[in-house]
Amino acid sequence: MLPLISAVAGALLFLFALLSILAPSPVETDHIHHRRSNSPSVGGKLDRDVWTSRNSEHFYGCSNSSSKFQKAQVVTKPDRYLLIATSGGLNQQRTGIVDAVVVARILNATLVVPKLDQRSFWKDSSNFSEIFDVDWFISYLSKDVKVIKQLPPRKGGKMLSAHSMRVPRKCNERCYINRILPVLLKKHAIQLNKFDYRLANKLDTEYQKMRCRVNYHALKFTNPIRAMGEQLVHQMRMRSKHYIALHLRFESDMLAFSGCYYGGGEKEKKELGAIRRRWKTLRKSNPDKARRQGRCPLTPEEVGLMLRALGYGSDVHIYVASGEVYGGEETLAPLKALFPNFYSKETIATKEELEPFSSFSSRMAALDFIVCDESDVFVTNNNGNMAKILAGRRRYFGHKPTIRPNAKKLYRLFLGRSNLTWEVFASGVRTFQKGFIGEPKELRPGRGGFHENPSTCICEDSVAKVDKHSGSRKIGKDNVTKKNVANDDLDVDDEFEEPDMDDDEDPNDLVERSMSNETISDYENLNFEEPELDEFPSD
């Protein structure tokens, strides 16, 4: 028996030695396991349909005026004409147009069709009627404000000339009555220049609803733009039942202005630093601080990882609205690897089809606006004008999912991702993105900019009210005209931060920020000719 036992023991020792040689080292095994678990997948159990907003069917846009709101024919005074000159890109100009209608009503003046900015960074020569349906605009608003296409002639045939002036940012109703109306009564026609964000965020309910009527109903793109936009949407629908639209602002000018750093070494610092020097009034940047404060646009790869963590698989089709991305294809490669079904208007339309629009940046932006607005899910990597306006529009028209990155919290996850398993990373993303995906009641009424959160124009149906008062869930306080309250699906803890769009650094607002908090008595002492940050490529 002893020789037999020795032989068996020897064989076992040999087998153990052989396995030890062939097996990978513990370090290598750990590395393989870590690499695999760190790879993106749709990890974790999702408690929602990624293509819809929960309970959205109970909320709807309501912007009709009350019976007490007098018709334009009654309140409009003769010899009062308001002109505005808008500023910035298409969407920034849109905010100015919307607010100009309300200002004309405040002043009981006739509004002349607004002038579009043709000298900004975008250098688009289009006028109002080449972007928007001007006849529809005038007709739809006829009960609210009298709108004409140009100033009428004076007696004798000479054209009436407008007196040019400026108003501070976020000027309220009293500001316009006290500051602008006396000049209007004397001059009869005034033009307000660089008219963007010149009206207060919080106004009387009737004026807020009027804002919504202008933004969501009166401003309609021209037939050629709408037809081409609908064709692009059709092309995306032919490819997939659902699609995501991503507004990707990652151009060199945007990155330079943000002062953020994206790991491109001295080459990046030199290139973006040279562009940044264009704005002489910009403060010296602190990239780490900007990142911590959530002021850096997410990279294309970070957007892709966020979407995968939120439950969107690699088979999802993405339409990307973007300018020339800094770093080109090398920068886009990680996003395309995560979502191979990657499209833009240039890839789903022919050069001939786009030719009538391609020389005009605002018309091209209008096409992207339509495709993004019609998408099942809208995503942005920034908090620019287009992102805000589409967020508000999508709330008004049914709370379609709108994902804005909670960049202040997400940066921690991206910073430490190499040390996290995919499941942990994805769970963190889903936690931090609660309140940032476009569901009803994410924002309190009045929170953030009105164009982004038109709470006065969002109503709740009776079914939802009954459910709310049944006691099954404590949702929040009611309001006769505003039903947005805290999100009942959120676990409110110290990790959740309700998005505050007022914290956003408006590139044109750095100089005039202090003006917005002045009292009426202080307006006489304001310097309206202080320099602003011109030429910023605001969308």
Reported as a single tens digit per residue, the pLDDT across 320-340 is 999 999 999 999 999 999 999
Q: Identify the pLDDT of residue 284.
A: 82
191 neighbors 163 (Cβ within 8 angstroms): yes
Measured distance between the N- and C-terminal CA atoms of the chain, rounded to whole angstroms: 89
3-state SS, residue 39: coil
- Which residue ranges in the chain fall short of pLDDT 70? 1-37, 41-47, 121-122, 463-537
Query: Which among 34, 53, 84, 305 is positioned nearest to 199, based on CA atoms?
Result: 84
DSSP output for 435-475: T-S--TTSS-TT-S-TTT--GGGEEE-HHHHHHHHTSSS--
pLDDT attached to residue 424: 96
pLDDT at 444: 86
What does the alpha-carbon distance between residue 333 and residue 337 come to, in Å, rounded to a whole number? 6
* Calpha distance 222→137 (Å, rounded): 11
Q: Which strands form 402-403's sheet, in the order they lie side by side? A: 342-343, 317-322, 243-248, 377-380, 402-403
Phi then psi for 346, rounded to 5 degrees?
-70, -25
Looking at the DSSP bridge assignments, the partners of residue 403 are: 379
Domains of the chain: 72-204 (no CATH), 224-250+297-459 (3.40.50.11350)
